[in-house]
Structure 1
Amino acid sequence: MVNKSINSCIDSSIDISKEEVLRYLEYKGQHIDNNLNDLIDDCIKMTKEKINPRYYLRVYPILRDKDNSSKSIFLKDSSLKFESNDLYKLLYKCDECIILATTLGINIEKEIRKYSYTDLTKSIVLDACATTSIEELCDSIGRTLSKELNKEGKYLTMRYSPGYGDLSIESNRDIIDTLNLNKNLGLTITSNSIMIPRKSVIAIIGITSEKIKNENKKCTMCSNYTNCRYRKGDEDNGCKGIYKE
Structure 2
Amino acid sequence: MVESYAIDSVDRSEVLRYLGYAGQEMTAELEERIDDGVGRCLSIGAPRGTWRIFEVAGRGAKGDGTPFVRLADTSLELLGSSMQEHMDGAVAVGVMAVTVGMAVERELRCLSLTDRVGQVVFDAAATTLVERAADACEASIVSAGHERGLFSNFRFSPGYGDMPMTTQPVLLQALDAQRQLGIALTDTLLMVPTKSVTAVVGLFEAVQPSTHASCAGCACFDFCKIRPTGHTCRG
Task: Provide TM-score, normalisation by structure 1.
Answer: 0.80
- Specify which of 33, 39, 50 is matched with residue 33 of structure 2: 39
Structure 2 counterpart of 1:58: 52
- Specify which of 106, 111, 123 is matched with residue 107 of structure 2: 111
- Aligned partners of 2:153 and 2:54: how far apart in 1? 15
Aligned-pair distance for 1:66? 6.8
Is the contact made by 2:169 and 2:185 (CA closer than 8 Å) also made in structure 1? yes
Provide the secondary structure at the position in 2 that maps to 1:72: strand
Q: CA distance change for structure 1 residues 29 and 63 in 2, over 3 Å: closer, same or farther?
A: same
Task: Provide TM-score, normalisation by structure 2.
Answer: 0.83
Is the contact made by 1:15 and 1:136 (CA closer than 8 Å) also made in structure 2? no
RMSD: 2.6
Structure 1 counterpart of 2:11: 17
Map 1:83-232; keep pairs closer than 5 Å: 83-214=79-210
Q: CA distance change for structure 1 residues 26 and 18 in 2, over 3 Å: closer, same or farther?
A: same
Unaligned segments of structure 2, at least 5 residues? 225-231
Aligned-pair distance for 1:202? 0.6
State percent identity of aligned pairs.
26
Aligned-pair distance for 1:155? 1.3
Is the contact made by 2:66 and 2:81 (CA closer than 8 Å) also made in structure 1? no
- Aligned partners of 1:67 and 1:190: how far apart in 2? 29
Unaligned segments of structure 1, at least 5 residues? 217-236
Structure 1 counterpart of 2:227: none
Provide the secondary structure at the position in 2 that maps to 1:13: coil
Deviations 1:164-199 (A, max 9, x none): 110111110111223221111111101011101110
Aligned-pair distance for 1:65? 3.8
Q: Provide the aligned length of Structure 1 versus Structure 2.
A: 217
- Aligned partners of 2:200 and 2:211: how far apart in 1? 19
Aligned-pair distance for 1:67? 9.1
Q: CA distance change for structure 1 residues 166 and 70 in 2, over 3 Å: closer, same or farther?
A: closer
Question: Could you tell me which amino acid in structure 2 is paired with residue 161 of structure 1?
Answer: S
Provide the secondary structure at the position in 1 that maps to 2:155: strand
- Aligned partners of 2:123 and 2:131: how far apart in 1? 13
